[in-house]
Amino acid sequence: HRPTRGADEGLPVTQYTMDVLEDTGLLKVDFLGLSTLTIMRRAVDLIRERHGKTFTQNDIPLDDPDTYRLLSSGDVTGIFQVESAGMRRVLLRAARLAKPIYVTENGLPDADDDQRPRFLLTHLAEMHRAMTQGADVRGYYHWTLVDNFEWSEGWGLRFGLVALDPETQVSYEEIIVAGFAARETEGR
């Protein structure tokens, strides 16, 4: 008999701890993965279930002055799992399990390339803080390497580590990584 319970998604979840499962040979955990995008999608689902409000992440108005100011500050504590300090807290909690950690998906949709650089820099800084405090982070995988066409949004939102102008196919990798929006460097 293996004690299980139903998870929110309808999948069975074991009541045993990770160590017991490894010791009995039922499961081997080599590393832990953290995907903040999944957490954001789950937050949208919970809002729909608990408050009856139906929307997607893409419906959040990034051009709204208050939303823009909040997200572009990079300090968005409590906004789904976008917050950078939240990443550090989760990494430090996961570190207690004594397994290597990989950030498997992280990023922010950004139509104008004016929020993504700060978001990336604050998250990487918080990840580094967690590492200096003992989190064994072995890898960071950004949402996507290069801006890409999304079936639901077209080229409207940008996700990549490398900004790409879809009309000219010019990329701005050094600009995003350096912390500047692509449009801020035009003419330089």
- The verdict on residue 21 lying in a domain is yes
Find the angle CA(56)-CA(58)-CA(62) to the nearest 5 degrees.
130
95 in a structural domain: yes
Q: What is the domain extent for residue 111? A: 31-145
List the chain pLDDT tens, one digit each, 188 residues: 556 665 555 556 666 777 777 787 777 778 888 776 655 666 777 788 888 888 776 677 767 787 767 666 655 555 544 567 778 888 998 898 889 999 988 877 766 667 777 778 888 899 999 999 999 999 998 887 787 777 766 777 677 777 778 888 777 664 555 555 555 555 44
> Do residues 125 and 46 share a domain?
yes
pLDDT of residue 188: 43
Q: Are residues 41 and 115 in the same domain?
A: yes
Same domain, 113 and 73: yes
Q: Do residues 26 and 38 both lie within one domain?
A: no
Number of domains in the chain: 2
Which pLDDT does position 28 carry in this prediction?
Answer: 76
pLDDT of amino acid 80: 45
Q: What is the pLDDT of residue 107?
A: 77
Residue 129 and residue 59 share a domain: yes
In a domain, 174, yes or no: no
Please report the pLDDT score of residue 81 as a whole number: 47
Among the candidates 107, 122, 145, a domain finishes at: 145
pLDDT at res. 164: 79
Alpha helices, DSSP H, located in the chain: 18-23, 36-51, 65-72, 84-95, 116-132, 173-178
Question: Same domain for 47 and 139?
Answer: yes
Residue 169 covered by a domain: no
The answer to whether residues 89 and 47 belong to one domain is yes
Instruction: Please report the pLDDT score of residue 10 as a whole number.
Output: 59
Residue 170: partners with Cβ closer than 8 Å, 6 or more residues away = 164
Note whether 36 and 26 are same-domain residues.
no
Question: Quick one: 1 and 65 in the same domain?
Answer: no
Closest to 123 in 3D by CA, of 143, 150, 145: 143
Is residue 22 domain-shared with residue 110, that is, in the same domain?
no
The pLDDT of residue 180: 55
According to the model, what pLDDT value does residue 101 have?
A: 94
pLDDT of residue 133: 97
Q: Are residues 6 and 67 in the same domain?
A: no
Residues 43, 19, single domain; the answer is: no
In a domain, 186, yes or no: no
